Amino acid sequence: MNTQRHERSTPSTDNNEEVSEQLSQEHFHLIKTMLYDTAGITLADHKRNMAHNRIAKRIKELNIPCFDDYISYLNKHQEEEISNLVNALTTNVTHFFREQHHFEHIKQETAALLKAGQTKIRIWSAGCSIGAEPYSTAITLYDLQQSLGIRADIKILATDIDTTALETARNRKYPERNIKGLSKEHLNKHFTTACINGENFYKLKDHVRNMVSFNYLNLNETKWPMKGPFDFIFCRNVFIYFDREKQLEYVDKMTDLLKTGGYLLLGHSEHFAAENVKYKTCGQTTYQKISD
Ligand SMILES: C[S@@+](CC[C@H](N)C(=O)[O-])C[C@H]1O[C@@H](n2cnc3c(N)ncnc32)[C@H](O)[C@@H]1O
């Protein structure tokens, strides 16, 4: 039974008019534990309002009247519903060419590898959200190959835990609000436009889409299916959701999948790879693996 329904003022929300009760501390704790056990994500206590709003939206979709009933539903249908809960609670903020310096770096290093005779480049974008990061990489490397007048075997693997974000990425159709970071030149060269129900969309062309494959991967799974080795691994603005123990565990696993000489690219506040003796820092949140 929920005994703490009225302990806080009703959170402001865009979509929870019909779920006016509070997400109790007890339910919040249960959801936090489930999220940590499933996805390794630590939901901070100050995120309770956010959790309320996002779960309220899910409750409405399911036509469930209150959080108590949702928790019972979740317990009964855990296998299917946990994925929807994770989708609801993950943060997918991203944009094209976010932290531009990483794309400059990947362009320069790939050019050097190709000029040195390497023909195969492998990249992994872990926590790719709606695809802006792997597609920015693909655009960069497509343009690079054109400017060098060569065609290499370049493949980008993009993974995420959020199945809704992955669907958006695979569909590669973005409304105006999602094209931040793309220049007019990029839009003209790599996208077509379409107006759907009065809204303008930009659809990525096949030559870039075909360089990227999307797959579901929960970093918290014990076994990761990919073998590597990768020349570059992006894992930006993903580690911030994990505690230190998980961060170090995932970085170790990524290090095993990275070539010696390859690069790990992290988010602007994720500096902990610098402590790892296998890496040397090469500019802003860019780490080169220097030993096995
Ligand atoms: C803030 S977005 C970052 C997107 C992109 N890397 C960027 O920097 O623009 C964080 C992404 O990490 C994903 N994520 C969170 N926990 C994850 C996990 N355990 N396994 C895989 N992806 C996860 C989320 O679904 C979300 O799409």
The CATH number linked to 54 is: 1.10.155.10
Tell whether 77 and 57 lie within a shared domain: yes
- Is pLDDT of 14 > 50? no
**75 part of a folded domain:** yes
Backbone angles phi, psi at 275, to 5 degrees: -80, -15
- Domain count for the chain, please give it: 2
Tell whether 202 and 68 lie within a shared domain: no
Q: What is the pLDDT of residues 117-131, one digit of tens each?
A: 999 999 999 999 999
161 Cβ inside 6 Å of ligand 1: yes
Q: Which residue has the higher pLDDT, 113 or 4?
A: 113
Q: Is 231 a catalytic residue?
A: no
Tell whether 85 and 106 lie within a shared domain: no
pLDDT of residue 19: 58
pLDDT of residue 9: 34
Q: Which of 48, 54, 58, 98 is catalytic?
A: 54
Domain residues for 146?
100-289
- 34 C-alpha to ligand 1 centroid (Å): 17
pLDDT of residue 277: 86
Q: Which residue has the higher pLDDT, 275 or 95?
A: 95
**Residue 4 banded pLDDT, cuts 50, 70, 90:** very low
Average pLDDT value for residue range 273-284: 88
Q: Which atom of ligand 1 is nearest to the CA of 242?
A: 16
**137 part of a folded domain:** yes
Q: Is 153 a catalytic residue?
A: no
**8 part of a folded domain:** no
13 Cβ inside 6 Å of ligand 1: no
Question: What CATH number has the domain bearing residue 244?
Answer: 3.40.50.150
Tell whether 240 and 113 lie within a shared domain: yes
Q: What is the pLDDT of residues 15-25, one digit of tens each?
A: 444 555 788 99
- 151 C-alpha to ligand 1 centroid (Å): 31
Tell whether 38 and 170 lie within a shared domain: no
**176 part of a folded domain:** yes
Q: What is the pLDDT of residues 43-94, one digit of tens each?
A: 999 999 999 999 999 999 999 999 999 999 999 999 899 999 999 999 999 9
Tell whether 130 and 270 lie within a shared domain: yes
Average pLDDT value for residue range 129-155: 97
* Structure tokens that stand for 249 in this block: 């565990």
- 226 C-alpha to ligand 1 centroid (Å): 18
pLDDT of residue 21: 73
Tell whether 149 and 253 lie within a shared domain: yes
Cβ–Cβ under 8 Å, residues 51 and 85? no
**12 part of a folded domain:** no
Tell whether 70 and 105 lie within a shared domain: no
Tell whether 112 and 150 lie within a shared domain: yes
Average pLDDT value for residue range 145-151: 96
pLDDT of residue 23: 86
Q: Which atom of ligand 1 is nearest to the CA of 41?
A: 16
Rounded to the nearest integer, the mean pLDDT of the chain is 92
- Is pLDDT of 41 > 60? yes
Q: Which of 58, 98, 122, 160 is catalytic?
A: 160
Q: What is the pLDDT of residues 203-259, one digit of tens each?
A: 999 999 999 999 999 999 999 999 999 999 999 999 999 999 999 999 999 999 999
23 Cβ inside 6 Å of ligand 1: no
Tell whether 50 and 110 lie within a shared domain: no
Average pLDDT value for residue range 94-123: 97
**What whole-number distance in Å separates Cα of residue 126 and Cα of residue 217?**
8
**95 part of a folded domain:** no
Strand partners of residue 59: none
**194 part of a folded domain:** yes
**13 part of a folded domain:** no
Cα-atom radius of gyration of the chain, to the nearest Å? Answer: 21
